[in-house]
C-alpha cells in the first residue's frame, strides 16, 4: 500500500467535494438567508484546505495507474468518512452537537435518511437543500461521480469504482470505466430532472420538488417536509414518487442498456429485476389486505399506501406516506421483512440486495435436492448462466457476516437503550440504509433522543452498510495494511 496514493487521491476528492459544498449558497442567496452563507463557506474552505494539505503530503501525485485493490478499498472508505465530516460542518452552525452533526451528515451521504432533526422550523432552506443534495451525491456514489469527472482517475478508477459498489458481479455498460460512470450518472441525472418536472406538475412547490427528487432517486428519504410525503396530502404525488422510487431501486446500468437498445425485454429478461418486481407485488398485496382488515382502509387507499411503503422500504428510501409505526403488528411485520432485502445490485438502494437473496435461495434449494439425490449435478444459474463457485461462496460469506454484524449491533444497542425494538429495528434500518424504523425511531420520530453510544454504533452501521461490508472486512486482515514502495 502506497501512502502517496492514499493522500493524493483523497486530497483530490476533498478539493472537488469542497467546490460542491458551495452550491447551497445559491439557495441561501435566493432565499435572502445570508447567515447561511458562512456555514457552507467554512465547510467548503475546510474541505479544500484539507484536500490541498493531503495532496502536498502525497507529493501532488497525479498518476494512479498502479493503484492496488486494497488501496482502492481504503480510499473509498476514508472518502466516505472524511467527506461526511466536511458535510457535517454546516450543521454545527445551527446548534447541533458535533456527534449529531456527523450522524446527520453520515445519514445523508450514505442515503440512510435517519434524522436527528426534531423541529424542522429551526433550519433554513439551504440546509434542507444540502441534506437532499448530500443524499443525491451518495446515491450513485461519490467515487463514481469523481471517476466520471476527474481525469486523474481515468485508469485507477476501476479499483475504486468496484470498491464502492462491491456487488456479486462487476457490471459495466461500456468498455471504459470512466464512460460507464458517466453513463450511470447520465441516467441518474435525467431521471432526477424528470421527477422534478412531474412533481411540479402535480402541484408540489418547486423547492420541495427539487429536494424530494434528489432524495428519491438517491433512495435516501430526507424530505424538507417534517411529515415526509404524507405532509403533501396528494395521491398523485404519492404515485409519482412510488414510480421513481421503483426506478431508484432498479439496476441503473440495466436501465441504461434498456434505453440504449430501445428494447424493454432487456429489462424484463433479468432474473433479479423480475424477483424485485415480484417481491413488491406479493408483499404489497398482503399489506393491502392487512390494511383493509385491521386499519379499515378503503381499497384504493390500501393499494396506494401498501405499494408506496413496500417500495419505499424495499428500496431503502425510507419515505412515508403515513405513520406506519401506528399500523397493526401484522402490517409492521410485513414492512420489517422487506427491510432485510434491499434494492437491486447497481441501484441507489442499500440492504443485502435482491440478487444475493435469489442466489442464497437457489443455494439452499440445491442443498435440499442433494440431500435426497446425493449424486445429482445441479449448477446454480442466474439469467441462464452458471454462477461460479467463487461468487457463490462470496455471497454466502457476505450473508453470514451481515447477520453477524446485525446481531452484534442489535445486542449492543439493546443493552445501551434497554429496548430490543430499538436494538433490532434500528440496526436493520441503519445497516440497510433505510432510515425510519418503528416507535421512537419511526417515520415521524427521531434518532436525536438516543444515547451517544447508540449513535456511534449506528454511524458505523450506516457507513459499513453503504459500502456493503467488503472494504470493512478486508481491513480486518493484517496484510491489508502492508506498505509498499
How is 65-114 classified by DSSP, letter by letter?
Answer: TT--HHHHHHHHHHHHHHHHHHHHHHHHTTT--HHHHHHHHHHHHTT---
pTM of the model: 0.91
Alpha helices, DSSP H, located in 340-433: 354-372, 389-417, 420-431
Spell out the per-residue pLDDT of the chain, length 485, in tens.
677 878 888 898 899 999 999 999 999 999 999 999 999 999 999 999 999 999 888 777 666 666 677 777 788 888 889 999 999 999 999 999 999 999 999 999 999 999 999 888 899 999 999 999 999 998 887 656 555 545 555 544 455 555 555 555 555 555 456 677 778 888 889 999 999 999 999 999 999 999 999 999 999 999 999 999 999 999 999 999 999 999 999 988 888 888 777 777 777 888 999 999 999 999 999 999 999 998 888 898 999 999 999 999 999 999 998 888 888 889 999 999 998 898 888 888 888 899 999 999 998 999 899 888 888 888 888 888 888 888 888 888 888 899 999 999 999 999 999 998 899 999 999 999 998 888 889 888 899 999 999 999 999 999 998 887 877 777 777 777 776 55
What are 442-468's pLDDT values in tens digits? 888 899 999 999 999 999 999 998 887
3-state helix, strand, coil in the chain (%, to 5): 70, 0, 30
Q: Which residues pair with 382 in a beta bridge?
A: 385
Who's near 44: CB < 8 A, 6+ residues apart? Answer: 18, 19, 21, 22
Q: Are 319 and 245 in contact (CB under 8 A)?
A: yes
Q: How far apart are the first and last CA of the chain?
A: 8
Rounded to an integer, what distance in angstroms lies between the CA atom of residue 41 and that of residue 53? 18
Distances (CA, A) of 238 to 209, 282, 433: 12, 20, 21
What are 314-330's pLDDT values in tens digits? 999 999 988 888 888 89
Nearest Cα residue to 349 out of 189, 158, 165, 163: 165
Q: Report domain extents, the chain.
A: 270-335
Amino acid at each position: 500500500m502506497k501512502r502517496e496514493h492514499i493522500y493524493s487521491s483523497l486530497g483530490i476528492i476533498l478539493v472537488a467535494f469542497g467546490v460542491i459544498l458551495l452550491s447551497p449558497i445559491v439557495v441561501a442567496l435566493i432565499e435572502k438567508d445570508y447567515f447561511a452563507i458562512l456555514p457552507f463557506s467554512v465547510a467548503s474552505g475546510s474541505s479544500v484546505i484539507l484536500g490541498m494539505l493531503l495532496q502536498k503530503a502525497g507529493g501532488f501525485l497525479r498518476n494512479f495507474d498502479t493503484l492496488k485493490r486494497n488501496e482502492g478499498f481504503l480510499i473509498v472508505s476514508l472518502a466516505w468518512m472524511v467527506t461526511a465530516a466536511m458535510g457535517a460542518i454546516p450543521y454545527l452552525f445551527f446548534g447541533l452537537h458535533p456527534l449529531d452533526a456527523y450522524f446527520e451528515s453520515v445519514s445523508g451521504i450514505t442515503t440512510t435518511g435517519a434524522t436527528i432533526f426534531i423541529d424542522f422550523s429551526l433550519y433554513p432552506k439551504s440546509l434542507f437543500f444540502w441534506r437532499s443534495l448530500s443524499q443525491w451525491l451518495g446515491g450513485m456514489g461519490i467515487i463514481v461521480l469523481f471517476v466520471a469527472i476527474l481525469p486523474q482517475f481515468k485508469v485507477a478508477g476501476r479499483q475504486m469504482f468496484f470498491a464502492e459498489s462491491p456487488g456479486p458481479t462487476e457490471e459495466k455498460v461500456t468498455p471504459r470505466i470512466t464512460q460507464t460512470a458517466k453513463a450511470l450518472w447520465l441516467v441518474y441525472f435525467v431521471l432526477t430532472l424528470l421527477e422534478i418536472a412531474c412533481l411540479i406538475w402535480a402541484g408540489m412547490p418547486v423547492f420541495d420538488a427539487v429536494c424530494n427528487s434528489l432524495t428519491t432517486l438517491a433512495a435516501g428519504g430526507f424530505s424538507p417536509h417534517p411529515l415526509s410525503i404524507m405532509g403533501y396530502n396528494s395521491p398523485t404525488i404519492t404515485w409519482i414518487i412510488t414510480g421513481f422510487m421503483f426506478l431508484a431501486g432498479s439496476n441503473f446500468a440495466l436501465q441504461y442498456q434498456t434505453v440504449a437498445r430501445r428494447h424493454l425485454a432487456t429489462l424484463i429478461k433479468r432474473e433479479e429485476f423480475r424477483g424485485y418486481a415480484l417481491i413488491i407485488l406479493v408483499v404489497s398485496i398482503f399489506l393491502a389486505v392487512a390494511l383493509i382488515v385491521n386499519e379499515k382502509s378503503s381499497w384504493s387507499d390500501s393499494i396506494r399506501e401498501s405499494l408506496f411503503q413496500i417500495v419505499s422500504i424495499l428500496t431503502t428510501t425510507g419515505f412515508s406516506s403515513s405513520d406506519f409505526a401506528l399500523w397493526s403488528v401484522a402490517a409492521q411485520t410485513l414492512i420489517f421483512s422487506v427491510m432485510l432485502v434491499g434494492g437491486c445490485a447497481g441501484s441507489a438502494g442499500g440492504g443485502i440486495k435482491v440478487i444475493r437473496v435469489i442466489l442464497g435461495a437457489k443455494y439452499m434449494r440445491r442443498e435440499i435436492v442433494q440431500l435426497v439425490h446425493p449424486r445429482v449435478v445441479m449448477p446454480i444459474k442466474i439469467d441462464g448462466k452458471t454462477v461460479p463457485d467463487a461468487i457463490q461462496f462470496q455471497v454466502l460469506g457476505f450473508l453470514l457476516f451481515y447477520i453477524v454484524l446485525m446481531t452484534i449491533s442489535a445486542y449492543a444497542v439493546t443493552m445501551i437503550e434497554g429496548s430490543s425494538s430499538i436494538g433490532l429495528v434500528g440496526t436493520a434500518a441503519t445497516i440497510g440504509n433505510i432510515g425510519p424504523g418503528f416507535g421512537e425511531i419511526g417515520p415521524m420520530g427521531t434518532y436525536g433522543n438516543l444515547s451517544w453510544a447508540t449513535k456511534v454504533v449506528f454511524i458505523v452501521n450506516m457507513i459499513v452498510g453503504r459500502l456493503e461490508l467488503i472494504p470493512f472486512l478486508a481491513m480486518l486482515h493484517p496484510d491489508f495494511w502492508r506498505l509498499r514502495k
